[in-house]
């Protein structure tokens, strides 16, 4: 079978121009999804293409990465990233993945030994919000999480990423090796701080001296990552095949825009990613808050209303002028004022750019993909902004409608009466509430009272309960399109 490893490619994409044998697995990455391969791995590839670099990546799968790893192995670790904006296209044949290890294929100890390897300098993660096993309201490690509960009892045979990272650090300490940098690349506010707290809380339970060693010698930089990368589908894979001239089962089609802002805090060196467009800064707080609220908050707003209204893709949502107007207002009038940013960050220009990206019809970003795991996301994306507007006695209808749309989505039925496949770690708890109180507006206060999602000052606030209940009732009676039309008219 012809693959990108043994076939002459067309002029759109060329094989890596650097010596791949010089790359070492200095980065161990947990979560080899499409976003990582189109972002961090691509940045590392671009660096190797521009300057001599030994920074390669070993991919780790804790759950279900074997089919991808098998396809990558058949292609000598190569895969295609096709970037597109309207009619403009460019492609890269990425070559920085040099090894892989998975629990199913290789076992837990093989992962721990890779984490403990003398070659490993950075352990990075894209495991989504739920992979951190934290309580969304408190930001603390959720010791009742089944994976964490298992790992605390069996720390040498872990299930969670937290458990594996600590096991790898424990092994390094045992071998007399230095600690490494743990680099979160997930959309969590203060992601490095959240990860550090979870790891130290976990380590303190199993070995206080180990926890002290980690606290002293490891580092946990915060990052802001940005690129719209839809999940791969057979349609997207065939599209890439038409563009490059060969089928690549590992290919990714994504937007041309990408951004990476990184706190410069690495204990064992780092790649010079800034040479290929990343930014190293002292503090990423302003960047991550801007992105989480203006981009991710708007995405969640679009996703839940879009799923309910029957829109398959984000660009379809944005073609509705009422939705476009509401999203524009959400970005500039609702989310932007909550941000404390420096003068060099132009929020008006950022919002304009976001709207253009959302309207890019070449990017088939499914609303149902963005809607997944909402209980882990909306606190960062929508809820935190409520405090600002409550304190300033501002209009909270757009934020309340986004939250109400998420609640309506979790009832698992859209406006046409079709079943929604809800993917959420709190799905069972939500279903218990629906069985107990029904799916009418009466259930709203009970959903808002879930402290794993909503802090007490928000979930028990009468103004929030009233606004979310009113939006939810409108969604029930009239549907998402009518609700958003009413909002747009009132703006």
The model carries a pTM of 0.92
Core vs surface per residue 342-371: b (16+ CB within 10 A) or e: eeeeebeebbeebbebbebebbbbbbbebb
One domain for residues 219 and 331: no
One domain for residues 363 and 480: yes
- Taken in order 442, 446, 449, 452, is the CA torsion positive or negative? negative
One domain for residues 291 and 369: yes
Cα Rg for the chain, rounded, in angstroms? Answer: 23
How far apart are alpha carbons 238 and 245 in whole angstroms?
10
Question: In the listed set 258, 281, 304, which residue is the last one of a domain according to the structure?
Answer: 281
Sheet holding 259-263, edge to edge: 223-226, 259-263, 279-281
Question: In the listed set 239, 257, 281, which residue is the last one of a domain according to the structure?
Answer: 281
Instruction: Look at residue 4 in the predicted model and tell me its pLDDT.
Output: 67
One domain for residues 267 and 403: no
One domain for residues 78 and 180: yes
CB atoms within 10 A of CB 435: 9
Question: In the listed set 254, 281, 308, which residue is the last one of a domain according to the structure?
Answer: 281
Domain presence at residue 342: yes
Q: Are strands 279-281 and 97-102 parallel, antiparallel or unpaired?
A: unpaired
Domain presence at residue 364: yes
How far apart are alpha carbons 471 and 359 in whole angstroms?
26
Instruction: Look at residue 362 in the predicted model and tell me its pLDDT.
Output: 87
Instruction: Look at residue 1 in the predicted model and tell me its pLDDT.
Output: 42
Instruction: Look at residue 7 in the predicted model and tell me its pLDDT.
Output: 57
- Tens of pLDDT, residue by residue over 267-326, are 999 999 999 999 999 999 999 999 999 999 999 999 999 999 999 999 999 999 999 999
One domain for residues 391 and 404: yes
How far apart are alpha carbons 285 and 380 in whole angstroms?
13
Q: How far from chain centre, in Å, is Cα 167?
A: 24
- Looking at the structure of the chain, the number of domains it has is 2
| 185, burial (CB in 10 Å: exposed 0-12, middle 13-18, buried 19+) | buried
CATH number, position 327: 1.10.1040.10
The whole domain housing 296 covers 285-490
One domain for residues 33 and 106: yes
Low-confidence ranges of the chain (pLDDT < 70): 1-11, 137
Domain presence at residue 433: yes
Domain presence at residue 8: no
- Tens of pLDDT, residue by residue over 163-209, are 999 999 999 999 999 999 999 999 998 999 999 999 999 999 999 99
One domain for residues 78 and 193: yes
One domain for residues 386 and 312: yes
Domain presence at residue 376: yes
Domain presence at residue 469: yes
Domain presence at residue 15: no
One domain for residues 180 and 52: yes
CATH number, position 142: 3.40.50.720
Domain presence at residue 319: yes
One domain for residues 113 and 188: yes
One domain for residues 257 and 297: no
141 in Cβ contact with 198 (< 8 Å): yes
């Amino acid at each position: 079978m012809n693959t990108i490893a043994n076939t002459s490619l067309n002029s759109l994409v060329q094989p890596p121009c650097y010596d791949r044998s010089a790359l070492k697995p200095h980065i161990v990455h947990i979560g080899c999804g499409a976003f990582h391969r189109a972002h961090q791995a691509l940045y590392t590839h671009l660096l190797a293409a521009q300057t001599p670099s030994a920074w390669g990546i070993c991919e780790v799968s804790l759950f279900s990465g074997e089919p991808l790893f098998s396809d990558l192995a058949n292609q000598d670790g190569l895969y295609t990233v096709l970037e597109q904006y309207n009619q403009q296209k460019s492609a890269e044949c990425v070559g920085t993945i040099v090894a892989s290890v998975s629990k199913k294929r290789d076992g837990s100890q093989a992962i721990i030994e890779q984490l403990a390897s003398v070659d490993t300098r950075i352990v990075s993660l894209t495991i989504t919000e739920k992979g951190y096993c934290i309580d969304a309201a408190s930001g603390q490690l959720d010791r009742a999480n089944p994976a964490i509960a298992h790992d605390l009892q069996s720390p040498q045979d872990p299930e969670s990423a937290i458990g594996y990272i600590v096991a790898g650090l424990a092994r390094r300490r045992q071998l007399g090796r230095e600690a490494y940098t743990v680099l979160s690349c997930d959309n969590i506010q203060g992601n490095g701080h959240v990860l550090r707290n979870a790891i130290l809380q976990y380590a303190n339970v199993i070995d206080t001296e180990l926890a002290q060693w980690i606290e002293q010698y490891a580092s946990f930089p915060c990052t802001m990552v940005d690129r719209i990368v839809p999940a791969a589908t057979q349609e997207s894979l065939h599209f890439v095949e038409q563009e490059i001239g060969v089928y690549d089962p590992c290919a990714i089609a994504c937007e041309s825009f990408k951004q990476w802002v990184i706190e410069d805090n690495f204990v064992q060196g780092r790649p010079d990613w800034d040479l290929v467009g990343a930014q190293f800064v002292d503090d990423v707080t302003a960047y991550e808050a801007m992105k989480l609220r203006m981009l991710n908050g708007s995405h969640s707003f679009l996703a839940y209303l879009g799923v309910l209204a029957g829109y398959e893709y984000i660009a379809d949502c944005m073609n509705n002028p009422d939705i476009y107007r509401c999203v524009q207002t959400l970005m500039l009038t609702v989310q932007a004022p909550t941000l404390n940013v420096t003068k060099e960050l132009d929020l008006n220009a950022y919002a304009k750019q976001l709207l253009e990206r959302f309207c890019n019809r070449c990017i088939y970003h499914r609303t149902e993909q963005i809607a997944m795991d909402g209980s882990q996301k909306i606190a960062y994306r929508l809820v935190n902004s409520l405090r600002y507007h409550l304190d300033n006695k501002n209009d909270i209808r757009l934020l309340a409608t986004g939250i109400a749309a998420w609640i309506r989505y979790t009832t698992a039925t859209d406006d046409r009466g079709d079943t929604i496949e809800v993917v959420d770690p709190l799905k069972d708890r939500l279903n218990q509430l629906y069985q107990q109180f029904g799916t009418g507006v009466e259930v709203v206060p009970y959903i808002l009272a879930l402290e794993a999602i909503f802090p007490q000052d928000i979930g028990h606030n009468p103004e929030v309960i009233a606004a979310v209940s009113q939006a939810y009732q409108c969604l029930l009676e009239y549907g998402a399109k009518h609700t958003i039309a009413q909002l747009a008219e009132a703006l």
